[in-house]
Structure 1
Amino acid sequence: MPIYLDEVPDDMDNVPPPVTLRWLIFLLVILLVGVLLTLWQWTGDRSGMSFWFTALGLPFCIWGIMLVFRHVGYRLELNGEAGWNHECQNLKETEIERGQRFSWVLDTWVQTLAGRGTGSLNAAMDLAEPLLKTAPPRAGGIPVRHSPMTDFDSDPLALDKALEKVATRLKNTLALLPETLPCWLMFDCDAGLTAEKEAEVLQLLGQKSGRELRRLSAHGMSALDNWLDTRWDKPSVFIALAIKLRPSPQENDAEAIASMVLCNRKSHQFPEAVRLHRPQRSDHEALTKNIKYSLRWAGLTPDLIRRIWMTGEAVTDRPELNKACEDNALTLSLTDDIKNIDAVLGFAGLASPWIAVALAAGVVQEQGAQMIAAQPEPGSEDIWLASITAEERQKDVIRE
C-alpha cells in the first residue's frame, strides 16, 4: 500500500503539571469556605478539637485528597503521552522504512514505433521528433493521429512473435538467478484480447521462461508497491509485462509492449543493475509534497535529480509538475531536463510507467539520478512518482 506519512498522528504536547499557585489559592478558598460553613451551621460550643477540625482540618484534608488525585492523574497523563508518542514514533519509523524499500532493475525491454529496445527509444527521445502520424486505425474508420507499430498491420502472428521474444529475454535473465527464487508476474493488457488469448500469453511466458510465474492481482505501479510490501522479507522476482495494442486508438495514443524484470535483492550476476525506488502515488494537487517523499525514499537531495520523464495528460498538460519542482528546489531545465515522452512517442497508457522507467534506467549510469512522473490511466487523477538511482550496494547479494 502507498506510504502516507501525513496520516501518522502528531505527537501529543507536553502535559501541563499542576500549578502550585493555583492550588495554594484553592487551599485558601476551601479553608475560608470551611470556616464560614462551620460558623454558620455549628450549634455547639465553638471551641475544642471537634470545632477546629471541622472548620480547618476537614477542608484541608479534602484539599489534600484532591491534590493527590490531581498528581496521580498527572502521572497517568504523562505515561499516556509517552506511550502515544512512542507508538507514533514507531509508526513513523516503520512507514519510512517501508518507503525506503527498492528493487533492482535487472532487465528492460520495450517495443514501440521507434523500434525494439530502450536504446532506439532513447535515441528517438534525444532527437525529439514526434513519431505520431495521422493514419487509419487497424480496425478501420476515421484516420487518427497516433503512433502504431507497423509490424502488426499485416502480420496476424506479430503479437505471438513479439511475446516469444519477451519470453526468450525473460528466460535468459531468469537463468542467471537461483531457481528457488519465486517469480511474480504483473500482466496488463489493452489489446482487445479474449480471456482465452490472455491465458495463452501467460502460458507461453511460463513455458518459455522455464519458471512458475505467479500472477499478481494488482496492476501497474500498485502491483510493484504491493510486492515491495508483501514480498520484501524473502528474495523474489517481479516481472512486469504491459501490452497496449488498441485496434481503435484514441488521439495521440501510442502502441507499445514493455517488459521489465526486477528483484528485491542485489545479484552478483547483474553488477550494473540500477535501483528503482518505491513508487509514490499522488495527484496533481499534492505533487509538491509527494515529490519530497519520493526523494526521501531514495535518500536524494533535490540537486541530485538530473532528469524527469513524464507521461500522461495530468502531468504533461498542467503546470503543477513545474511548480512542484520549483517548490522542492529541483535544479532542472524545463526544456532539457524534463522529458515529455508523449510529445515524441504518444501516450502508451498502462505501459507508460514502465516505458518511463526503462528510459530512466537506460541513462542513469551516465547522467545521474532520474525521476519519473506517470499517469497510466487518462480517466484517473493518479500520478505515480518514482526515483531511479545507480548507487552501488554490496549487502544482500544473492549467491548461487
Structure 2
Amino acid sequence: MPVDFLRVPPRVDVPHVSRPSILVWTLLLGLMVTGCVALAVFVWPARNADSVVFWFCAIGFPILAWSFLLCCRLAYLYGCLSAALATNKISDAIEAQCHESSSQPLAVLGNVWKFSSNEEENSLDALVDGMTKLRPVASQAVPNTDVIARWLDVPGRQFYSGNARTEHARQSELCEWLLNQMVDDIKSKLIRIPHQVSLGVDVCINSVIDSATVQEGLLARLRNVLHTTRIEVKSSKTELSLFHADSWFDNNRSDSVHLLVAVQLRNAASEILANGVSEGASMLLVSSPAIASRMGVSSPLCLHRPARGPSETTADVLKLAIRWGGGTFDNIGTSWRTGLSKEVARIIRSSCRFWHGMETVDLDAAVGKAGAAGVWLATALAAANAALTNEPQLVITQEGNDLLALVCEKQT
C-alpha cells in the first residue's frame, strides 16, 4: 500500500526550561510586599491598623499573589515543554510506522540480464572481478574505425554495415533473440506462478522497432509458458525510472506478480556508435513474499523500496535506502552505480562512510551506458550478487538532478 510521509506531523522545537531567577523573583516579592504595605498603611483606618485583616492584606496577600504568579509561570513553561515533547513523540511514532511500512520488501522471483552475446563476458563473476571492461573494437557500421562501445550479436547471424533498413532488420532479429533467451532463462520461475495470480508486465524498450510489435511478441511468448490467463502488458515506454519500482510496492497485492522487461538497442550497423555506449537487456520478476512462499521459495531475494531525493542530499538518500533495506553502511557488500555525474560520485566518496571492504561496480565503465536498460541491468545484477554472496547490495543511479537508490538482499 502507498506510504504517505506527508501525514507525519512536523516536529517542533523543544523550549528550554531554565530555573527561575532568584534575584528577579526576590526583587518582585520585595516590590509586591512593599507596595501592599504602603497601600495598607495609607488606606487602612488608623483604629484598625493592628487587625489580622490588615496584616493579611499588607503581608499575606502579596506573598500569596507572588506565589500564584510563580506557579503560573512554571506551569506555563512546563506545559509548553510537555506539549512539544508529546508532539515530537507522536511525530516520531508515525514516522517510524511509515519507515516500517516502507521497509517491507518484495521478493525477487527471477532476474536475467544480457549485455554481451559471449556467456563468459556476460557472467556476473567477470563483472565483479573487473575483467569485463569497455575496450576499443572495430565499428560495425564503418570499416577500419574503432569505437569504445558494446553491442549485441545474434549467434550464427552476421550483419554488415548498412542503412536504416539493415538496422531495422538487425534489431528485429536481435530483439527476438533477446526475448527468447530471457524468457527461457526465467521460464522455470514463470511456470511456478499460481494459476489464480495475474501477471503485470512493464515493457521498456528503446530501439527502432515498433514497440507494439515487441509487446505482441512478448505476450505470445509469455502465454506459451504461463498457466495464468491474466496477463496485462502495460504500454511500452522508451525509459522507466528506477522509482517506477515504488509503484510495485504501492500496488503490492497477494494475487499479482510484476515482470519488468527493459531493452536498449543501438544503431550499431548504420552509425558509428558514440564512445561509452552499449546495448543491453534485463528481466526482473517480483512479487509479494506471500506469493514467493506459495511458490516454495524459502529464502527469497528481496528488493527494497527505492529512495529518491535531490543530488545535493546524496548522503540522506543513501541513508534512507539503506535504512529501508534494514542494513547499515558497514554491511553493504557491493554498490552498483550507473548514470552518476562526477560531482555526485565525489560526494558519495567523501560523505558516505562505507566499510573499507565494499566492492564498487561502475556499470558505465564496465558494461557501458545502457540507456533505458542501464538501471535495470544494475538491479538484476545486484540481486544476483546478493544471492551469491549473502551480502546486501546497493544500487545507485542519477536521473537529472535526482539521486535514486535501493537495496537488494537475500533473506536468511
Tell me whether 1:274 sits opposite 2:293 in the alignment.
no
Aligned residues: 381
Cα separation, 2, equivalents of 1:25 and 1:144: 87
Number of the residue aligned with 2:95: 92
Number of the residue aligned with 1:226: 247
CA contact (8 A) 2:382 2:395 kept: no
| 1:125–1:61 distance in 2 versus 1, CA, 3 Å | closer
| 1:206–1:368 distance in 2 versus 1, CA, 3 Å | closer
The equivalent position to 1:110 in structure 2, one of 106, 113, 116, is: 113
Unaligned runs of 5+ in 1: 393-400
The equivalent position to 1:347 in structure 2, one of 366, 369, 390, is: 369
What's the offset of the Cα at 1:100? 2.4
Tell me whether 1:176 sits opposite 2:192 in the alignment.
yes
Number of the residue aligned with 1:364: 386
CA contact (8 A) 2:385 2:393 kept: no
What's the offset of the Cα at 1:107? 0.7
Q: Which moved more, 1:74-83 or 1:345-354?
A: 74-83
Cα separation, 2, equivalents of 1:118 and 1:240: 23
| 1:129–1:196 distance in 2 versus 1, CA, 3 Å | closer
The equivalent position to 2:232 in structure 1, one of 191, 194, 213, is: 213
Cα separation, 1, equivalents of 2:44 and 2:30: 24
Number of the residue aligned with 2:324: 297
Tell me whether 1:251 sits opposite 2:281 in the alignment.
no
Cα shift readout 1:76-108 (whole Å, capped 9, x = no counterpart): 335413421321220232233134222222111
| 1:203–1:81 distance in 2 versus 1, CA, 3 Å | same
Cα shift readout 1:317-338 (whole Å, capped 9, x = no counterpart): 843333345x34x1226xxx32
Cα separation, 2, equivalents of 1:61 and 1:193: 90
What's the offset of the Cα at 1:242? 1.5
What letter matches 2:79 in structure 1? L
What's the offset of the Cα at 1:341? 1.9
CA contact (8 A) 2:252 2:288 kept: yes
Unaligned runs of 5+ in 2: 160-166
Report the secondary structure of 1:33's partner residue: helix
Give the TM-score of the pair, scaled to structure 1: 0.75
What letter matches 1:331 in structure 2? H
Identity of aligned residues (%): 20
Name the Cα RMSD after superposition. 4.3
Cα separation, 1, equivalents of 2:44 and 2:9: 63
